[in-house]
Chain A
Amino acid sequence: AQSVTQPDIHITVSEGASLELRCNYSYGATPYLFWYVQSPGQGLQLLLKYFSGDTLVQGIKGFEAEFKRSQSSFNLRKPSVHWSDAAEYFCAVGSGSSNTGKLIFGQGTTLQVKP
C-alpha cells in the first residue's frame, strides 16, 4: 500500500538558517510527489511537484525538493528561512497509474521560525 512518512513532527529553525524537511514514501511504481504548505487557518497551497525528469525540482517561495529513488525520499529544502515560512508542511504521493487522483498525505511537519 502507498504511504508517506514525515519523520519530523516539529522543527524549529532560526530565521536565515537553512531548512530541510524529510519525506519518505512507499509506492510500487514511479510516484507522483507533492509538497503542500498550510498556513494557520488556511487551506493547502502547492509548493512544488515531481512527476518525471530532473530529480531536483524548484517551487514557489524559494523552496526546492530532490527526488531520490534509491532512498524513497523527496526532501524539501530552503537555503534561508523567513519568518513567514512558519506553517505546516505536507508531503503527498499521488497514485497516477491508477488514474484515481487520490493523494496520500504524510502526517505533516510543523515549522517554527525563531527570530
Chain B
Amino acid sequence: DTAVSQTPKYLVTQMGNDKSIKCEQNLGHDTMYWYKQDSKKFLKIMFSYNNKELIINETVPNRFSPKSPDKAHLNLHINSLELGDSAVYFCASSSARVRGNNEQFFGPGTRLTVL
C-alpha cells in the first residue's frame, strides 16, 4: 500500500529532451507538492497544488510545468532538459484545513540524470 508513489524511479535522458514524472497519492489528501533535491542534498519546494489549483510556484524556469488532473495526481513535465536539471525530484502530499502545520508525506523520489 504505497501512500505516495512516483514513476519512474530513475530517468536518464539527453539534453534538450522533454520528459514527465508522475506522482500519485492514495491518502485522500488535497494538497500535493514537488520538491527538488540537488547534488548537495538541499531540498527546495518547486510547486504546490491544492484541489487541483496552483498555490505555490517558486522561482522555477517555465520549462517546468506541473499538471494536476485530479486531487490524487500531480505530474511534472519538463521541456528542453538541461544539465542543471539533474537532481532527485520528490513528490509529497498533505491534508488539513490549515495546510502549514501538516505532516507532508513524501514519495520515494525520481532521480533524473541529464546527459
Contacts and interface: CB of A to CB of B under 8 A. Distances in A.
Interface of A: 32, 34, 36, 38, 41-46, 49, 51, 88, 90, 94-105, 107-108, 110
9 contacts: A43-B4, A44-B92, A88-B41, A98-B100, A101-B94, A101-B102, A102-B56, A104-B45, A107-B40
B42 A100 contact: no
Given A43-B108, A101-B48, A102-B100, 18 more contacts: A36-B106, A42-B109, A43-B90, A45-B106, A94-B100, A96-B100, A97-B100, A99-B98, A99-B100, A101-B31, A101-B50, A101-B56, A101-B99, A101-B102, A102-B45, A102-B56, A107-B40, A108-B42
B39 interface: no
Interface in B40-82: 40-45, 48, 50, 55-56
B108 A42 contact: yes
CB-CB nearest 4 A-B residue pairs = A96-B100, A101-B99, A43-B106, A44-B106
Contacts of A94: 100-102
Given A43-B90, A43-B109, A99-B98, A105 B103 contact: no
B113 interface: no
A100 B48 contact: yes
Contacts of B101: 32, 51, 94, 96
Contacts of A49: 103
Interface of B: 4, 31, 33, 40-45, 48, 50, 55-56, 90, 92, 94, 98-109
A37 B42 CA distance: 13
B40 A95 contact: no
B107 to A, nearest CB: 5
Contacts of B90: 43-44
Given A100-B48, A102-B45, A32 B100 contact: yes
Contacts of B103: 34, 46, 49
A105 B99 contact: no
Nearest to B100: A96
B45 A103 contact: yes
